[in-house]
């Protein structure tokens, strides 16, 4: 809920107009900063999910490769299609299924890499936008402080 803005009663119109503009600009920058933070948070969450996907896909791929590398008693051949010195028995249907899954993993891993690159770029862009918003808040807030200080100094001078 927005707070009701104080309306000065004795300040000159010129002063209240400037203060009103600086107030509006500062508050809009603050709202924009909140939005940029949300965008940044969303991008980091998406990036985290793509990293988790990539880890899971690589683990599954390693598991499938490991499955066949240890079935061969010689241990020097990683895939069942390679001719080995010893004969090992393989379930052809399982091999086809695993091979199809390896192809699928490769496609999914490429997609996951593309997505993680995209989300990383979004994180960088959102971080830059957030910094820009924070600088804007800082500058308008500093302008308000300077103007209030000038009004205070003017009031002290007038009262002397």
Return the higher-pLDDT residue of 14 and 24: 24
- What is the distance between the alpha carbons of residues 41 and 126, in angstroms, rounded to a whole number? 9
pLDDT tens digits, 92-120 = 898 899 999 999 999 999 999 999 999 99
Domains of the chain (ranges plus CATH)? 26-152 (1.10.287)
pLDDT of residue 76: 47
Furthest C-alpha separation in the chain:
106
pLDDT of 8: 80
Euclidean distance between CA atoms 27 and 123, whole angstroms: 24
* pLDDT value of residue 5: 80
> 126 is written with which tokens?
């959102």
pLDDT of 104 reads 94
Cβ(55)–Cβ(109) below 8 Å: no
Q: Is the pLDDT of residue 155 over 70?
A: no
Tell me the CA distances in angstroms from 157 to 23, 144, 151, one per residue in order: 25, 20, 10
Count Cβ atoms within 10 A of the Cβ of residue 61 and give its class: 0-12 exposed, 13-18 middle, 19 or more buried: middle
pTM of the complete model beyond 0.75: no
């Amino acid at each position: 809920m927005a707070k009701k803005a104080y309306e000065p009663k004795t300040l000159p119109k010129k002063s209240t107009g400037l203060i009103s503009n600086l107030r509006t600009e500062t508050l809009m920058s603050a709202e924009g900063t909140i939005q940029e933070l949300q965008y940044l948070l969303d991008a980091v969450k998406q990036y985290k999910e793509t990293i988790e996907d990539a880890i899971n896909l690589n683990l599954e791929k390693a598991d499938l490769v490991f499955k066949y590398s240890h079935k061969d008693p010689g241990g020097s051949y990683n895939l069942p299609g390679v001719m080995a010195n010893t004969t090992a028995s393989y379930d052809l249907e399982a091999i086809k299924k695993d091979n199809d899954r390896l192809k699928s993993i490769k496609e999914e891993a490429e997609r996951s890499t593309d997505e993680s690159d995209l989300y990383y770029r979004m994180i960088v862009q959102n971080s830059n936008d957030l910094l820009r918003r924070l600088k804007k808040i800082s500058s308008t807030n500093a302008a308000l402080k300077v103007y209030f200080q000038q009004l205070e100094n003017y009031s002290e001078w007038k009262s002397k």
